Amino acid sequence: MNNKEIERKFLVNESEIPFDLVNMPYQDIVQGYMTSTENDLSFRVRNVLYRNKNGEPIGEEWFQTIKSKGTKVRDEYEIRLLREQFSKLWRLCDRTSVHKLRYDPPCEVGRMDLDCFKNDLRGLWLVEVEFDSLDECDSFMPPKWFGKEVTEDVRYSNLQLALNGIPKD
């Protein structure tokens, strides 16, 4: 089944976030890449640990995702994995991984993912808004707390962040 991912991505200044993240459930995500930069597809495995607002685990899932090249619109194929399958594939993600906390604040249009990166990417905050259509995407007016749009800047893809770290603008 072919799925289209339609999204826009923005930098965020943590002090501008208008939500109380302390009282919000979140996802603790580690994801790694099994791909080369010459490939037209990126292959990712992801472990999602769901946490309640107190940080206590409330569930866990594992996924494999294949994405085509692109920025605003690209093909995306995702399947659920068993823990054992994830563990075997994770070994192929040698030094190409990211760790982030993901919050899902309310959004009037589409679905919003607010990511706080950890480890070598600490301090980087990105917000992605996913849409059902390109028209909806193109007409979206970002709220004032969103920073610079980086949708078309491939340096802010999770794969490039895993490979190269935070871009030096």
Per the domain annotation, does 41 fall within a domain?
yes
DSSP state of 122: T
* Average pLDDT score over residue span 118-140: 95
Per the domain annotation, does 169 fall within a domain?
no
Which range, of 76-80, 108-112, 158-162, averages the lowest pLDDT? Answer: 108-112
Is the pLDDT at 155 greater than 60? The verdict is: yes
Count of other CB atoms within 10 angstroms of residue 3: 11
Per the domain annotation, does 81 fall within a domain?
yes
Count of other CB atoms within 10 angstroms of residue 42: 21
Q: How far apart are CA 151 and CA 163, in angstroms?
A: 18
Predicted confidence at residue 142, as pLDDT, reads: 94
Is the pLDDT at 87 greater than 50? The verdict is: yes
* Average pLDDT score over residue span 131-140: 93
Number of domains in the chain: 1
Per the domain annotation, does 15 fall within a domain?
yes
Predicted confidence at residue 77, as pLDDT, reads: 92
* Average pLDDT score over residue span 84-103: 94
Per the domain annotation, does 101 fall within a domain?
yes
Is the pLDDT at 68 greater than 90? The verdict is: no
Phi-psi category of 70—alpha, beta or left, where left has phi over 0 and alpha has psi -120 to 50?
A: left
Query: How far is C-alpha 72 from the geometric centre of its chain's CA atoms?
Result: 13
Full residue range of the structural domain in which residue 115 is found: 3-164
Rounded alpha-carbon distances, angstroms, from residue 77 to 33, 67, 129: 15, 6, 18
50 counts as catalytic: no
Q: What is the token pair recorded at 93? A: 């993600």
Q: At 150, is the pLDDT very low, low, confident or very high (cuts 50, 70, 90)? A: very high
Residue 46 belongs to domain with CATH number: 2.40.320.10
Per the domain annotation, does 26 fall within a domain?
yes
Long-range contacts of 131-140 (CB under 8 A, 24+ apart): 131/6, 131/7, 131/8, 132/6, 133/6, 134/6, 134/72, 134/73, 136/6, 136/109, 136/110, 137/6, 137/7, 137/8, 137/72, 137/73, 137/110, 140/8, 140/109, 140/110
Predicted confidence at residue 126, as pLDDT, reads: 98
Predicted confidence at residue 106, as pLDDT, reads: 84
* Average pLDDT score over residue span 69-73: 87
Q: Quick: pLDDT tens for 1-54.
A: 448 899 999 999 999 999 999 889 999 999 999 876 677 888 999 999 999 999
Annotated catalytic residue, options 33, 50, 77, 156: 33
Per the domain annotation, does 97 fall within a domain?
yes
Q: What is the token pair recorded at 101? A: 């906390």
Mean pLDDT of the chain: 92
Is the separation of the CB atoms in 92 and 34 below 8 Å? yes
* Average pLDDT score over residue span 159-166: 93
Please name which of 60, 61, 120 lies closest in space to residue 96, comparing C-alpha atoms: 120
User: What sign for the dihedral angle of Cα 1, 114, 71, 32?
Assistant: negative
Predicted confidence at residue 37, as pLDDT, reads: 61
Q: What pTM, to 2 d.p., does this model score?
A: 0.91
